[in-house]
Every structure is written in structure tokens, then in C-alpha cells.
A = this chain, B = another copy of it.
Amino acid sequence: MPNFSKLVDSFVATRAHTEALAAPLSAEDQQLQAMPSASPVKWHRAHTSWFFDTFVLAPRIGESLRPRWSVLFNSYYEAMGPRHARPERGLLSRPSTDEIGAYRKQVDEAVVELLARTDLERDHELAALVRLGVAHEQQHQELMLTDLLAAFARHPLAPVYRDLPPASRVEATGLHFVSHAGGIVRIGSDDEAPFSFDNEGPTHEVLLRPFALANRLVTVGEWRAFAEDDGYSTPSLWLSDGLDWVRENGIDSPAYLRRDGGQVSSYGLHGLRRAHDDEPVLHLSFYEADALATYLGARLPTEAEWEVMAEGLHDDAPRENLHPQPLRGQGLLGMFGVGHQWTRSSYEPYPGFRSAPGAIGEYNGKFMVNQLVLRGSSLFTPRGHSRPSYRNFWHPSTQFQASALRLARDE
């Protein structure tokens, strides 16, 4: 049974968190678009509101609150009419951030009012759409930070989004592997509540061979050894496309990291700082993660392997700051809340998967080619958006997400 007050709470809290993330930024900061695949903060704020406006409000109250803006803030829904070109989102100085703020308030009020006067036990679709909208907005909260980071990183003067709290330096726990016996396991989720995306289902059985997963993420120090050992110019470690990517782009490090003598400097939303060997290395591309795993004598996990090991784990990672801390403790560390972990699994439909009909059906299915699955969540992921069945996906050269490496091996 859909729970009205829980749904409203989650809606209100999520919407407010978006505004809190944007609050430290000027109108000019919110306008930045670093590259075609990133979007301005103000665009994320407007697009997430357009989503509720278009899919929740308009069909129920008869019209959109801002019909003229649809062309601007439709992201990729072919069924919803023409769209502004993605690479040009940074050119939308109008509407202003203030006007977008007003739009957000109006959408918030209208949705809350709509929920208040709807019998959610009868209108299951409304509850499902609001839950989808909340999850969708959480995704964009993470993108707001990663896209902002990509833009700030291009600024010669290393801008700071948030000041860095004092570091509590700890050592990382030593690397070891945690085994699984394999066999037929059940993965995926098709729960409507609390929530899962369509691409997480149907639940289904998979046959696994015995394997083991590393207890923690690969560190800056382990990456540094690879780099210093000429890892970036050793062809036998690389997939062929990965080697081409390294050579064509002159890659010699993950995004925002730079080797400097024996040290590593890192740029992040706290500005420029020195990275420590014990902290997890982030912003690896799939190509780098795969080569680094090979160098370390291991391999990437498959998504099914990762998921069965994550069963029952929760995201309790600290979020006090926006750069990664050394992982210390028992069990599988950093499954959630540090870095999305590349898997060796291509992003494909699960057996029996079908896209939902209509525009909402464009949500996930149409992207199921040319991308690799990542599992877990990152320090940019909002609380409550982590779960074992969650499938993140990016092209194999992507570095601007907070993407990490957890090793796996056959047993």
C-alpha cells in the first residue's frame, strides 16, 4: 500500500536537497557546461522539475506549468517532442536561475497538493511516477556535482565549491579476497516500493562459478605503482580500444589526478590538494580499471558477482567531505558511497526485459549498447539512492564520474 506521508516526505526532502546543493553557487557557476555529456547545474534543476511537470502534473491538471520551456528541458525523450541540442545547454542564459527557482517552488506545491487530494491506493500510477521522479532527481543530484567538477576542473585557478574539513588520516586495511562458492543465484529487483528502475528487472537466476571479491577498492598508491611501472605504455595490459584511447588522448592518469615526482595531486570540489596513497583511486575509465586489474593479477567482477556479494549491505559511508578517505575495517569495504565500481559486464537487457510503453519507457532500455555496467554508489550519490541491484552505466572511456575499481578473481 503506497504510504502518502512517506512519499511526500521523500519528495519534499529530495527536492530540497537539490536546492541545497546549488545554494553555494552563483548564477554564473550554475550556467557552466564543460562538455556535451555534462549539463549546467541550473539545467539539472530545471530538467528535474520539467520531469514532474510533464509526467506527473500535466496529464492530471491539464497543462504544463511552463509549456514554452519543454523544448529547453526535455533531455532525451523522443516521444515528448523536439529538444534543444544537448551540447548547447550552456547557452541557455534564459530562463534565469531565479526563474528556475520559482518554477521549482511552483512544481513542489502543485505536486504536494496533487498527492494530498489523490487516493494513492487507487492511483498506483501516480505514486509510481512520483517515486520515479524522486529517484530520477537523485540521479541528477549526483550529476550536478560531477558535471560541476568537470567544469571547475577546466578553470586555470582551481575554484573551490566547498571548503575541506580537517583530514583524519587513517591507513587502509590490507587487501584480501572474500570468496563465494558460485552456483545458481538470483539477482535483480522489480520492486515498485521502495523503488527500483526498470533496468534492474526482471529478477532472474544466473549460474556463477566460484569467485572472490577484494575487500576494498584499489588505492592511489596501487595505481601509482602501475603508472610508475609504465603501465600506460605496456600494450599487453590493455584492451586494444583502451590502448588507442590512451594514445590518442595522451592519457597518463585518471581524471583530476596528476603525478608530480613521487607524489600525486588531486583536484576536486574542495580545490587542489595532495592525494594520499591509501585513499581509493577514483575517476578511472573502464579501460584503465581493466588494465590496472590485469596489472594487479586480477580481473573485474561481473555485475552478478558483485550483486550477490552486496546482498544485505547498506550504504553507511560517511559523506563529511567530497574526497575519498582510506577504507578501514572488516568485511567488504566501500561497496557503497565511495566510488561506482566498474564491472566486466556490458550494459544489456536482463532476460525478459521489456521497456515500459510510452515516453517513460525511454528511461533505460534505449541506452543498452556500447556501455559497461558499474555497481555501487559514490561519494556524490545522495543518501538513499544506493542498493545492491542498482545498475549504473557509462561508456568505457568515461573518467568524469567517481568511478572506482574493486578486484575480482576466479576461485
Contact = CB atoms under 8 A, between A and B. Distances in A.
Contact of A27 (B27, B240, B290): B27
22 contacts: A26-B96, A27-B28, A28-B96, A29-B93, A29-B94, A31-B93, A76-B240, A78-B236, A88-B154, A91-B151, A92-B155, A93-B155, A184-B207, A236-B361, A236-B362, A239-B368, A239-B369, A241-B369, A242-B369, A243-B366, A346-B348, A352-B410
Contacts of A31: 28, 31, 93
B241 A370 contact: yes
A71 interface: yes
Given A207-B206, A344-B348, A72 B366 contact: no
Contact of A235 (B79, B91, B205, B206): B79
Given A91-B151, A346-B346, A410-B352, A84 B156 contact: yes
Contact of A209 (B94, B157, B352): B352
Interface in A87-105: 88, 90-94, 96-97
Most buried by B among A31, A93, A205: A93
Interface in A49-77: 68, 71-72, 76
B369 A94 contact: no
Contacts of A346: 346, 348
A204 interface: yes
Nearest to A93: B28
A370 B245 CA distance: 13
Contact of A366 (B26, B239, B370, B396): B239
A242 B207 CA distance: 31
A32 interface: yes
Given A26-B96, A28-B31, A242-B369, A236 B79 contact: yes
Given A209-B351, A396-B369, A157 B32 contact: no
Contacts of A92: 155
A380 interface: no
Interface residues of A, number: 64
A96 B78 CA distance: 37
Nearest to A357: B236
B240 A93 contact: no
A352 to B, nearest CB: 6
Nearest to A359: B236
Contacts of A27: 26-28
A64 to B, nearest CB: 15
A114 interface: no
Interface in A360-398: 361-362, 366-370, 372, 396
A2 interface: no
A271 interface: no
B91 A34 contact: yes
A240 to B, nearest CB: 4
Interface in A265-297: 286-287, 290
